[in-house]
């Protein structure tokens, strides 16, 4: 049922209370006396984390995720497991609790944020309660903020991208925790970070590698998590960036560049005999790679078209299956393939990545920059959108586009100072690390960055239309 429209007025209408929406609002209200209305179709803040599989963890350190004002986790170093020796990785439950705490203990008590859960944004400043049907019309004095443009798609909410015949046992990854009878075989469908999580969880819970079939349409390059650490590890993180620049500057092809990065321990692949075609910024440790290599039954026959009771039909062939096999859906898109658009418009903001695939840092920077007395044109110059990567070339493109943006912040000392102090910045503590090594790396960085940027332009001239559109489509 519905009733007559209600009305509210606000400075900012923020659509979406996921990680990027929360990071934006946190930075905005820290530096500006403004009123904010947040609308989300979920019952609580947290976005896709509310639908995540129970055993998922961040694949970046908790220390650099969330909102800028409030730490996530206890800045611990894991003492056991494949992440041993590295900064802790928050679980989905921890992240959801964290964002709920930000809302209840920071946003709402400020008196400057109102939250409308279970509500659908209808456009034109209107939203409807999914519980009562009440429509609310919002008078927005400044801007409408789209915090859903980068929304992730996860198996719990996205159906499999293939047909499933009646009688076939096909479950999203999160339902693995609800299995009560051991299946004859587990068939994991997917090639990205979600599928590695499924396989790792199965192995750690006693499943034999011989009992797993892993359908990987494309293999993936993963970042070595050892080179993505804050605090004392920041110098190794910076070294990884330097290696990326040097590899690109010194080689003729993108494949040669990845060979150099693999030799330097910056990038990892699951099968040393198969060249990956994807690179989406996911991280693994060397220990996790070694564990996943125990699974030998890997199927590379393209994407699954349909699963029948006795066979799986793929793009390039078929494999047998059976009624007592459990097929694990890990094939949701995950990070979206969105084309870049200007982040700032006169009456709108579209939150997107800027700084090398770090969505919460990018959103928080956007929130801070919005509080400054700059024109829309100047804000867009300082924060150009940097789409998520898909292919190996895409990943290099995202790294170098991020570096171009970061080097432009030198013309905005206040923004540079904000980033340097932000807890979301994995390189925040770089200046307090090994001075001699840092000076050497800085020299190598300055030597390689120009040639690497030039090489990227050369490679993009021969890239696919889809790869070029992520740069030229701005």
Residue-level pLDDT at 304: 97
Residue-level pLDDT at 156: 87
* CB atoms closer than 10 angstroms to residue 429: 17
Domain-located, residue 470: no
Is pLDDT above 50 for 105?
A: yes
Does one domain contain both 71 and 186?
no
Does one domain contain both 288 and 177?
yes
Domain-located, residue 450: no
Residue-level pLDDT at 472: 53
Residue-wise pLDDT tens digits, 364-418: 999 999 999 999 999 999 999 999 888 999 999 888 889 989 999 999 999 999 9
Positive or negative torsion for Cα 134, 137, 140, 143: positive
- 3 state DSSP class of 214: strand
Does one domain contain both 340 and 325?
no
CB-count exposure of residue 296 (10 Å: 0-12, 13-18, 19+): exposed
Which tokens hold the place of 369? Answer: 């920059």
- Please give the mean pLDDT across all residues of the chain: 93
Residue-level pLDDT at 258: 96
Is pLDDT above 80 for 334?
A: no
Domain-located, residue 117: yes
Does one domain contain both 214 and 287?
yes
Which tokens hold the place of 463? Answer: 């890239």
* CB atoms closer than 10 angstroms to residue 181: 6
Does one domain contain both 191 and 307?
yes
More reliable by pLDDT, 471 or 162:
162
pLDDT tier at 82 (50, 70, 90 boundaries)?
confident
Phi, psi of 279 (to 5 degrees): -155, 105
User: Which of 374, 391, 408 is the last residue before a domain boundary?
Assistant: 391
Which tokens hold the place of 466? Answer: 């889809």
The strand pair at 135-146 and 6-15 is best described as: parallel
- The CA radius of gyration of the chain, in Å to the nearest whole number, is 23
Residue-wise pLDDT tens digits, 427-458: 998 887 768 899 999 999 999 999 999 998 88
Domain of 11 in residue numbering reads as 6-153+336-391
User: Which of 309, 329, 349 is the last residue before a domain boundary?
Assistant: 329
**Average pLDDT of span 290-317:** 97
More reliable by pLDDT, 100 or 458:
100
Contact 221/279 with Cβ under 8 angstroms?
Answer: yes
Provide the number of structural domains found in the chain: 2
Is pLDDT above 70 for 2?
A: no
**Average pLDDT of span 199-217:** 97
Is pLDDT above 70 for 474?
A: no
* Dist. CA 30–CA 70, nearest whole Å: 11
Does one domain contain both 189 and 317?
yes
* Dist. CA 93–CA 97, nearest whole Å: 6
Domain-located, residue 396: no
Which tokens hold the place of 392? Answer: 């190996």
Domain-located, residue 256: no
* Dist. CA 177–CA 155, nearest whole Å: 14
Which tokens hold the place of 359? Answer: 């969505």
Which tokens hold the place of 348? Answer: 């709108």
Domain-located, residue 149: yes
Considering only CA atoms, which of 26, 270, 296, 33 is closest in space to residue 142?
33
Residues in CB range of 473: below 8 A, 6 or more apart: 339, 340
* Dist. CA 138–CA 11, nearest whole Å: 10
Is pLDDT above 70 for 473?
A: no
Does one domain contain both 15 and 140?
yes
The DSSP output letter for 431 is G
Is pLDDT above 60 for 59?
A: yes
Which tokens hold the place of 198? Answer: 């499924």
* Dist. CA 128–CA 5, nearest whole Å: 9
Residue-level pLDDT at 153: 83
Which tokens hold the place of 201? Answer: 């969880």
**Average pLDDT of span 33-40:** 98
pLDDT tier at 326 (50, 70, 90 boundaries)?
very high
Residue-wise pLDDT tens digits, 124-141: 999 999 999 999 999 999
pLDDT tier at 188 (50, 70, 90 boundaries)?
very high
What is the percent of the chain with per-residue pLDDT over 70, rounded to a whole number? 98
CB-count exposure of residue 191 (10 Å: 0-12, 13-18, 19+): buried
What is the percent of the chain with per-residue pLDDT over 90, rounded to a whole number? 82
**Average pLDDT of span 147-162:** 91
Residue-level pLDDT at 74: 93
The DSSP output letter for 340 is P
- Which residue blocks in 121-192 are alpha helix, DSSP H? none
pLDDT tier at 1 (50, 70, 90 boundaries)?
very low
CATH number at residue 181: 3.50.50.60
**Average pLDDT of span 329-333:** 90
Contact 379/343 with Cβ under 8 angstroms?
Answer: yes
């Amino acid at each position: 049922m519905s009733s007559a429209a209600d009305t509210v007025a606000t400075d900012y209408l923020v659509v979406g209370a996921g990680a990027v929406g929360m990071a934006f609002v946190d930075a905005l209200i820290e530096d500006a006396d403004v009123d904010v209305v947040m609308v989300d179709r979920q019952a609580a803040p947290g976005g896709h984390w509310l639908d995540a599989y129970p055993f998922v963890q961040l694949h970046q350190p908790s220390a650099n995720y969330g909102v800028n004002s409030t730490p996530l986790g206890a800045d611990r170093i894991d003492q056991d497991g494949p992440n041993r020796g590295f900064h802790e990785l928050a679980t989905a439950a921890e992240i959801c609790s964290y964002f709920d705490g930000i809302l209840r203990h920071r946003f709402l008590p400020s008196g400057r944020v109102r939250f409308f859960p279970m509500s659908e944004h209808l456009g034109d400043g209107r939203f409807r309660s999914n519980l009562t049907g009440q429509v609310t019309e919002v008078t927005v004095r400044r801007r409408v903020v789209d915090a859903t443009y980068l929304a992730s798609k996860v198996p719990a909410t996205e159906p499999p991208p293939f047909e499933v015949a009646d009688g076939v046992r096909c479950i999203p990854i999160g339902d693995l925790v609800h299995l009560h009878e051991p299946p004859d075989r587990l068939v994991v469908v997917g090639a990205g970070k979600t599928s590695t999580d499924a396989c790792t969880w199965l192995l750690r819970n006693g499943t034999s590698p011989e009992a797993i079939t892993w359908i990987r349409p494309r293999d993936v390059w993963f970042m070595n998590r050892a080179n993505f650490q804050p605090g004392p590890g920041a110098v190794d993180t910076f070294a990884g960036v330097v290696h990326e620049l040097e590899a690109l500057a010194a080689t003729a092809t993108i494949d040669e560049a990845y060979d150099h990065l693999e030799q330097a321990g910056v990038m990892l692949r699951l099968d040393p005999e198969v060249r990956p075609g994807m690179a989406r910024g996911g991280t693994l440790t060397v220990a996790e790679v070694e564990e996943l290599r125990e699974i030998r039954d890997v199927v590379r026959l393209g994407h699954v078209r349909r699963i029948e009771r006795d066979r799986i039909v793929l793009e390039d062939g078929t494999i047998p299956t059976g009624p007592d096999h459990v097929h694990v859906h890990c094939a949701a898109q995950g990070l979206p393939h969105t084309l870049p658009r200007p982040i700032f418009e006169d009456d709108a903001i579209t939150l997107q990545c800027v700084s090398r695939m770090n969505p919460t840092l990018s959103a928080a920077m956007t929130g801070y920059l919005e509080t400054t007395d700059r024109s829309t044109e100047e804000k867009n110059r300082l924060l150009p959108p940097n789409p998520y990567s898909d292919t190996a070339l895409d990943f290099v493109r995202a790294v170098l586009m991020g570096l171009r943006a970061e080097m432009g912040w030198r013309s905005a000392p206040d923004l540079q100072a904000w980033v340097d102090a932000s807890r979301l910045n994995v390189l925040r503590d770089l200046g307090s690390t090994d001075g001699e090594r840092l000076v050497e790396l800085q020299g190598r960085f300055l030597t390689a960055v120009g040639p690497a940027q030039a090489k990227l332009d050369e490679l993009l001239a021969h890239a696919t239309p889809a790869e070029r559109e992520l740069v030229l489509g701005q």
